[in-house]
Structure 1
Amino acid sequence: MRNLPTALIALGLAYSAPTLALSTPMVDGRCSEYAELGAATQTLEQNVQFWLYQDDDYLWLCLALPEMSYGALDLALDAPRLDQPRALHVSAQLGEWPLASPEQAPQSPDSPLWWQIRGWTANTMRVNGSEQTEEGLKPRFLPDEAREIQFSKARFGSGDWRIRLDLNGIKGSDGLWHTVQYPPAEGDERPWAAISTLRPPG
């Protein structure tokens, strides 16, 4: 993993004691089981609730959204088994490309570069038919309860990870639309948050 010339912010997560004998989360766009699993949690801007849970093999992130939010996600990840940071995208489709090479991102909805992902998955935005707009027929999306993503440590490695994310289409209490950045931008700089992932026994 390359050393990045940016500040690191350790995730200020609080842990709760598990209350049920659940094994792992299901990637279904709901965060309700994370508290029962004793997952770490933190409240972000616009009352987005950030949950983190991991075992020896996988790590899960769940971002519980305010009502009437959509939560398209752009997540940058640097991890021990990556030769360079990757950009992971979650909307109606999933995508992945080198963070430093945005020209390698899909440039249209029908690009074959969509779904070229490995070692992670997420719940996508929910398409519910179509609607007529000034620009023609467009897909209609339902608001989501949460954006949830699962990572394989076999692909990304165990140890110290670095992430930063942009969560788009968040409906604020002011009635306006917001993008939630984590960690928040510091001027023109985007710091990284550090996650210490468990190492498999032995």
Structure 2
Amino acid sequence: MRKIVKLLLISALLLSRTSPLNASNVIPINWTNQSVLLDGQCEDDEWRDATKIRLPAQASIYLLHDRDSFYICAKGIKGDTTVLDLYIENTQTGHLHKFHLSAQMGEQIKTEKGWQKTGSWKLNNWTGFWVPYFGYEETEEGKRPKFFRGLHRQVQILRKKFPGDQWNIMFGVHIKRNGEWTEYSYPEKASAEEKSTWGSFSFSKKDG
């Protein structure tokens, strides 16, 4: 009987060491000593050691941090258009913050009065790489802007914007591929309106 119990304990330990990232764990965000360039490319050298979260349809989220900043990159495959909605809880105020990156960038804050807009392009302690466009094209619905495909959404948030070394976060990644939009969330069943369904992420190392 003791041998069976011992084997079960060893098996549980091995499973815990090899289990994939999931919302019940505190996920460490990898440290970087490199300067992170917001250029729409997750494959650049500075992202090589990032914490990586795999989503369906070959989409991914890359995470890094240094002493001052938290960096996020969301990507699909070549030719995709990627849009990112990033949600972070301010544990000091209890407010929820939504950062949106598509052809525009903006922040919303949920208070007791509901979601409040701070306005597009009003970037308070954060910035990012949006979906760039180049000129216009004629369509059946008239002139429309032409957007670059294949570039990735990137965000840099100063760590002083939110308190603590562990943040409650949700990611919403929207992918346009072959003319169709699909949406993926991490954690998988997280809700933007319910922070208890979000994931816990920690900054894995401090400078000095």
> Which TM-score bucket, shorter chain as reference?
0.7 to 0.9
Residue identity over aligned pairs, in percent, reads: 24
Question: Please, which of 48, 54, 62 is the counterpart of residue 73 of structure 2?
Answer: 62
Question: Please, which of 40, 54, 60 is the counterpart of residue 43 of structure 1?
Answer: 54
Q: Does 1:126 align with 2:132?
A: yes
Question: Please, which of 25, 41, 49 is the counterpart of residue 10 of structure 1?
Answer: 25
Select the structure that is richer in helix. Answer: 2
Is the partner of 1:51 in helix, strand or coil? Answer: strand
Q: Counterpart of 2:120?
A: 114
Q: Does 1:74 align with 2:54?
A: no
Quote the offset at 1:64 in angstroms: 2.6
- Contact 1:77/1:85 (<8 A) preserved: yes
Is the partner of 2:63 in helix, strand or coil? Answer: strand
Alpha-carbon RMSD: 3.2
CA 1:114/1:176 → structure 2, altered by over 3 Å: closer, same or farther?
A: closer
Is the partner of 1:154 in helix, strand or coil? Answer: helix
> How far, CA to CA, are the matches of 1:69 and 1:97 in structure 2?
26
The letter for the 1-side match of 2:151 is E
- Contact 2:85/2:98 (<8 A) preserved: yes
Q: Does 1:180 align with 2:184?
A: yes
- Contact 1:73/1:90 (<8 A) preserved: yes
Quote the offset at 1:196 in angstroms: 0.9
Is the partner of 1:46 in helix, strand or coil? Answer: helix
TM-score, structure 2 as length reference: 0.73
Q: What is the number of equivalent residue pairs in this alignment?
A: 182
Question: Please, which of 157, 162, 172 is the counterpart of residue 156 of structure 1?
Answer: 162
* CA shift digits 1:77-103 (9 cap, x unpaired): 11345541111111111101113534x
Unmatched segments (≥5 aa) in structure 1: 1-7, 107-112
- Contact 1:130/1:137 (<8 A) preserved: yes
Q: Counterpart of 1:24?
A: 35
CA 1:189/1:117 → structure 2, altered by over 3 Å: closer, same or farther?
A: closer
> How far, CA to CA, are the matches of 1:87 and 1:9 in structure 2?
22
Q: Counterpart of 1:88?
A: 99
TM-score, structure 1 as length reference: 0.74
> How far, CA to CA, are the matches of 1:200 and 1:192 in structure 2?
24
> How far, CA to CA, are the matches of 1:124 and 1:187 in structure 2?
24
- Contact 1:14/1:41 (<8 A) preserved: no
Quote the offset at 1:35 in angstroms: 4.7
Quote the offset at 1:26 in angstroms: 0.8
CA 1:136/1:93 → structure 2, altered by over 3 Å: closer, same or farther?
A: same
Quote the offset at 1:42 in angstroms: 2.3
- Structure with higher Rg: it is 2
